[in-house]
């Protein structure tokens, strides 16, 4: 088989060739008007993606986890109480961060595949009025759920608890209406919906958050928001920025804006609907019990099939990379990512590969059944 | 003038086109044997560059400052005393980091353009036997000096004080004989001697350091060395790595190893000697009073010449980027960087541009005088 490598992973995701080539342009110095222009363009582009006009947005040379850490160390002081929503591996990471920094994390936990409702958040906020912040994850890629950020924000706006949202895998996939909903802080990484390689983190900070930043006593230096704010006044960064990735970001953001944000969201909704229809047509069951995200489709491994071997073969022999489960989910699920630089014909490739690999592994497949189900979604779609 | 853009900046430096193109290759997923192989190759390549067989080397998605922070937060506890050598902006950064993390930094300060001798370090170690670590900078790019790391290490090996060296601009330029000298921790960034774009940090950790890491009580998560050590046992990183930059690093390290490390050092020594000879032939004075580095040449601005305007014109009209002074040095010096992907003909271009720009600015220049002085060095060189 002629292998064309395609990523349907939960990040890093496929990168447009135009963006790859922008990374390859000759180096420029960062303390120049030339770079400042690109840097500010990307900052403005990210504001558009976060759907904010009022927030400050900063670009970090780090992964998304570095951006998560930035939010914790700039908002809190040692011993501070904070709520965190834990419905998968990335929610748990908020808990690990709070613990590492000596804060008191109060966990709102749901079993994998489920979400925490706004009602549960309301109860927790009432029970813990002294919680300084609520840390949550918009799209939990370990289980395929999307959380009700709009619902949470409607509550935290009233209580004054700071709402911090990990949008690492959701930004540019699900709407994150930062200003309209009243989110306080949002963090993301470059390698998902932004259609970029990994290596950049981004953080959006609402104006009302700076008071908490001033009061925060947790130690920080590399991830200091005040240092970033001071630097951006001169259209620069406090420390050397990841120049090639930022130039690539300019190209990727221009592509997203040319498509139009609402169209981007609609495309992802269509790809997700088609993916779910496709796997269901194969007789497979979705792992996600509620709040299915448009980021990826998490599917239960069919009984009697060694799913990790199937996934590995798809990658090594077909060039089509899906992923299995992480941690306790290993061998129990597989995940078909459809975020970022993905269109409907890519989904046909992924489902075609899945039909073939499952069939070869002894699972009963009616040829084209997943494809037809997906195609039905595509043909009725206006995208 | 047909502009060809060339960087003689203190970082980021020029990147070989082969390395640029490696960055542009299609995205791959990081949890694959394919990426693990590249990741471990780069880890081994960086061990060679650090001249260590015994240390652990970790790759960070961060700038060099992130790698500096990693050393502080993993070695120390709140209130710990540490010495730091401050002979320029980057030495001062150690002091800022120690302060930010609530440690007691004891400054060994020399005026800009000078270094701290091993004798002075010996006195400080005797006076502060309770200092847990000594933080220093091998090449201080703000002033153009190189410090006597070998001499410092001979002392700290006896006292047991941990020697932490910022080699951000020096690695791959000046020898850093990690094992042979007995350095404890070295940190660097990608965008200098490594011939890479910015966005990667690296840290080398000697085996004897892990005991201090275990005892360290400063909070950390993204920069946790224990987390990195755990992940690398599985040939991976704790958080998503900067995949494209790491692939580029494989190409750059292969190029450096093909040239041969000792040849790389000799080339930089030659370029530095020629650069110094060139500016002196123009009647200019070196700013650096002792310990001139092979990383860059810092030169006093000639009287009556607005040096920042000259540097700006060289950049904007000739495409040749040198830099002026930072902070209090602004307008007083200019800096000609010659680290990384630079050869002797590049230096001729830089000096040629300098002759032209200074002459146009009214400084008396005998045409070709800097070029001839540099060429004299090149012709007698074996490189």
> What does the pLDDT look like over A161-220, one tens digit per residue?
999 999 999 999 999 999 999 999 999 999 999 999 999 999 999 999 999 999 999 999
Torsional sign, CA A38, A41, A43, A48:
negative
CB contact under 8 A, A222 and B69: yes
> For A347-356, what is the mean pLDDT?
98
pLDDT tens track for A83-113: 999 999 999 999 999 999 999 999 999 999 9
A37 touches chain B (CB under 8 A): no
pLDDT tens track for B237-278: 999 999 999 999 999 999 999 999 999 999 999 999 999 999
At A120 the pLDDT is 98
B252 touches chain A (CB under 8 A): no
Is B17-258 in CATH node 3.40.640.10?
yes
Q: Which tokens belong to B119?
A: 């004798």
Confidence of residue B1 (pLDDT cuts 50, 70, 90): confident
A197 touches chain B (CB under 8 A): yes
CB proximity list for A382: less than 8 A, separation 6 or greater: A266
CB contact under 8 A, B29 and A23: no
**Contact in structure between A337 and A293 (CB atoms under 8 Å):** no
Residue of A33, A199, A314 to mutate when probing chain B, most B C-beta within 10 A: A199
CB contact under 8 A, A64 and B242: no
At A327 the pLDDT is 87
B199-232 b/e (C-beta count within 10 Å ≥ 16 → b): bbbbbbbbeebeebbeebebbbbbbbbebbeebb
Assess whether pLDDT exceeds 90 at residue A1. no
A198 touches chain B (CB under 8 A): yes
Number of Cβ pairs < 8 A linking chain A and chain B:
183
pLDDT tens track for B65-84: 999 999 999 999 999 999 99
In this complex, which of A23, A69, A323 lies closest to B221 when CB atoms are compared?
A: A69
B326 touches chain A (CB under 8 A): no
CB contact under 8 A, A198 and B24: no
d(CA B48, CA B43): 9
A352 touches chain B (CB under 8 A): no
DSSP reduced 3-state for B130: coil
Assess whether pLDDT exceeds 80 at residue A282. yes
Assess whether pLDDT exceeds 80 at residue A383. no
Phi, psi (degrees; rounded to nearest 5) at B164: -115, 120
In this complex, which of A13, A61, A191 lies closest to B62 when CB atoms are compared?
A: A61
Rounded to two decimals, the pTM is 0.97
Assess whether pLDDT exceeds 90 at residue A382. no
In this complex, which of B11, B101, B243 lies closest to A240 when CB atoms are compared?
A: B11
Least CA distance to B219: which residue of chain A?
A101
Spell out the domain ranges in chain A: 6-12+261-380, 17-258
Assess whether pLDDT exceeds 90 at residue B202. yes
> For B347-374, what is the mean pLDDT?
98
Report the mean per-residue pLDDT for chain B: 97
How many helices (H) and strands (E) in chain A? 14, 14
At B382 the pLDDT is 80
B31 touches chain A (CB under 8 A): yes
> For A147-159, what is the mean pLDDT?
98
Phi, psi (degrees; rounded to nearest 5) at B104: -95, 100
Count of beta carbons in the 10 Å neighbourhood of residue A377: 20
A215 touches chain B (CB under 8 A): no
Contacts of A66 in chain B (CB under 8 A): 61-62, 222, 239
Q: How many CA atoms lie within 13 A of B55 on its CB side?
A: 29
At B327 the pLDDT is 87
d(CA A99, CA A97): 5
Tokens 């009697």 belong to residue: A304
Confidence of residue A371 (pLDDT cuts 50, 70, 90): very high
In this complex, which of A25, A62, A197 lies closest to B62 when CB atoms are compared?
A: A62
CB contact under 8 A, A240 and B15: no
A239 touches chain B (CB under 8 A): yes
Residues 74-133 of B with CB under 8 A from A: 96-97, 100-102
- Closest CA–CA distance from residue A350 to any residue of chain B (Å): 16
CATH fold of the domain at A6-12+261-380: 3.90.1150
pLDDT tens track for B154-175: 999 999 999 999 999 999 999 9
At A256 the pLDDT is 98
Write the CA distances from A217 to A3, A379, B131, integer angstroms.
53, 55, 25
Phi-psi region of A160 (alpha: psi -120 to 50; beta: other; left: phi over 0): left
Q: Which tokens belong to A313?
A: 């073969």
pLDDT tens track for B120-133: 999 999 999 999 99
CB contact under 8 A, A63 and B242: yes
Contacts of B69 in chain A (CB under 8 A): 221-222
> For B87-105, what is the mean pLDDT?
97
At A86 the pLDDT is 97
Contacts of B324 in chain A (CB under 8 A): none
CB contact under 8 A, B27 and A11: no
Is B6-12+260-380 in CATH node 3.40.630.10?
no
A151 touches chain B (CB under 8 A): no
In this complex, which of B9, B27, B97 lies closest to A221 when CB atoms are compared?
A: B97
Q: Which tokens belong to A14?
A: 């496929």
d(CA B81, CA B79): 6
> For B335-342, what is the mean pLDDT?
98
At B238 the pLDDT is 95
């Amino acid at each position: 088989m002629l292998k064309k490598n395609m990523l349907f992973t939960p990040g890093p995701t496929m990168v447009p060739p135009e963006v790859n080539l922008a990374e390859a342009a000759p180096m420029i110095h960062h303390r120049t008007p030339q770079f400042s222009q690109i840097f500010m363009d990307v900052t403005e582009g990210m504001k558009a993606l976060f759907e904010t006009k009022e927030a400050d947005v900063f670009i970090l040379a780090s992964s998304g986890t570095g951006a998560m850490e930035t939010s914790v160390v700039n908002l809190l002081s040692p011993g501070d109480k904070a709520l965190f929503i834990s419905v998968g591996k990335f929610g748990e990471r908020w808990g690990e961060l709070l613990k590492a920094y000596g804060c008191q994390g109060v966990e709102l936990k749901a079993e994998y595949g489920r979400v925490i409702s706004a009602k549960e958040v309301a109860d927790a906020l009432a029970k813990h009025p002294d919680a300084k912040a609520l840390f949550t994850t918009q799209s939990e890629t370990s289980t395929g759920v999307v959380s009700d950020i709009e619902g949470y924000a409607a509550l935290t706006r009233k209580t004054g608890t700071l709402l911090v949202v990990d949008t690492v895998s959701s930004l540019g996939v699900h709407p994150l209406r930062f200003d309209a909903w009243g989110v306080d802080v949002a963090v993301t990484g470059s390698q998902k919906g932004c259609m970029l390689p990994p290596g950049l983190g981004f953080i959006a900070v609402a104006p009302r958050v700076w008071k908490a930043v001033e009061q925060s006593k947790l130690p920080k230096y590399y991830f200091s928001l005040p240092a970033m704010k001071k630097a951006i006044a001169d259209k620069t960064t406090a420390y050397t920025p990841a120049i090639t990735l930022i130039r690539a970001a300019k190209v990727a953001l221009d592509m997203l804006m040319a498509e139009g944000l609402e169209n981007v969201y609609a495309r992802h909704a269509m790809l997700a609907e088609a993916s779910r229809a496709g796997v269901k047509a194969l007789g497979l069951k979705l792992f996600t019990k509620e709040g299915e995200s448009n980021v990826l489709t998490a599917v239960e491994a069919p009984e009697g099939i060694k799913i990790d071997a199937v996934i590995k073969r798809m990658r090594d022999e077909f060039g089509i990379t899906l992923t299995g489960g992480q941690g306790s989910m290993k061998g129990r699920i597989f995940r078909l990512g459809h975020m970022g630089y993905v269109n409907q014909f890519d989904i046909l490739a992924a489902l075609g590969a899945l039909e073939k690999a499952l069939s070869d592994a002894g699972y009963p497949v009616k040829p084209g059944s997943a494809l037809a189900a997906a195609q039905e979604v595509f043909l009725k779609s206006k995208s």
